A and B are shown apart, each in its own frame.
Chain A
Amino acid sequence: MNERNERIFGVACTFRKPADVFHAAEKVRDAGWTRWDVHTPFPIHGMDQAMGLPRSKVPRLTLLGGVTGFITGCLLTWYMNSYDYPLIVGGKPYWSAIYPFPIMYECTILFAAFGTFFGQFILNRLPHHHHPLFELPNFARVSDDTFMVVLEAHDPKFHVDDSRNFLQSLGGQEITVIRD
Chain B
Amino acid sequence: MAHAHDSSSERPAILDKVRPAELPRPKLILNDRGFHWITDKVCGIVEEPTPLWWKVLFGVALFIASFTGLGLFYLVSTGTGTWGLRSPVGWGWAIVNFVFWVGIGHAGTLISAILCLLRQKWRTSINRAAEAMTIFAVMCAGIFPLFHVGRVWFGWWLFPLPNQNGIWPQFRSPLEWDVFAVSTYFTVSTLFWYMGMVPDLGAIRDRAKTWWRKAFYSVLALGWRGGNRQWSNFEMAYLLLAGLSTPLVLSVHTIVSFDFAVSNVPGWHTTIFPPYFVAGAIFSGFAMVLTLMLPLRAIYRLHDVINQYHIDNMCKIILATGTMVGYAYATEFFIAAYSGNVYEKFAFINRAFGQYSWAYWIMVSCNVITPQLFWFKKVRENHSLVWIICIFVNVGMWFERFVITCTSLANDYLPSSWGYYSPTIVDIFTFFGTFGFFSVLFLLFIRFLPLLPMAEIKMVAPQADPHAH
Contact = CB atoms under 8 A, between A and B. Distances in A.
Contact of A41 (B160, B174, B192, B203): B203
A116 B3 CA distance: 17
B160 A80 contact: yes
B466 interface: yes
B188 interface: yes
Interface string B69-105: 0000000000000000000000000000000000000
B222 A126 contact: yes
Contacts, number: 217
A117 B241 contact: yes
B237 A117 contact: yes
A143 B40 CA distance: 11
Given A41-B455, A113-B191, A117-B195, A126 B180 contact: no
A175 interface: no
A42 B168 contact: no
Nearest to A140: B206
Interface in B441-460: 454-456, 458-459
Contact of A81 (B170, B203, B456): B170
A56 interface: yes
A7 interface: no
Contact of B234 (A106, A120, A139): A120
B229 A53 contact: yes
A22 B5 CA distance: 13
Nearest to A113: B188
B247 interface: yes
B253 to A, nearest CB: 13
Given A43-B1, A48-B228, A109-B188, A56 B233 contact: yes
Interface of B is mostly: helix
Nearest to A119: B237
Interface residues of B, number: 72
A126 B220 CA distance: 11
Nearest to A25: B228
B44 interface: no
A84 interface: yes
A38 B227 contact: yes
B420 interface: no
Between B176, B177, B227, the greatest number of chain A beta carbons within 10 A of the residue's beta carbon is seen for B227
A41 B233 CA distance: 15
A121 B251 contact: no
Interface string A112-125: 11101101110110
Contacts of A123: 233
A102 B35 contact: no
Interface of B: 1, 3-6, 34-36, 39, 160, 166-172, 174, 176-177, 180-181, 184, 187-188, 191-192, 195, 198-199, 202-203, 205-207, 218, 222-237, 240-241, 244-245, 247-248, 251, 255, 258, 454-456, 458-459, 463-468
Interface of A: 17-19, 21-23, 25, 37-51, 53, 55-59, 62, 76-77, 80-81, 84-85, 87, 89, 92, 99-100, 102-103, 105-107, 109-110, 112-114, 116-117, 119-121, 123-124, 126-131, 133-134, 139-145, 150
Given A42-B464, A85-B168, 7 more contacts: A22-B466, A41-B226, A42-B454, A80-B171, A105-B251, A140-B206, A143-B205
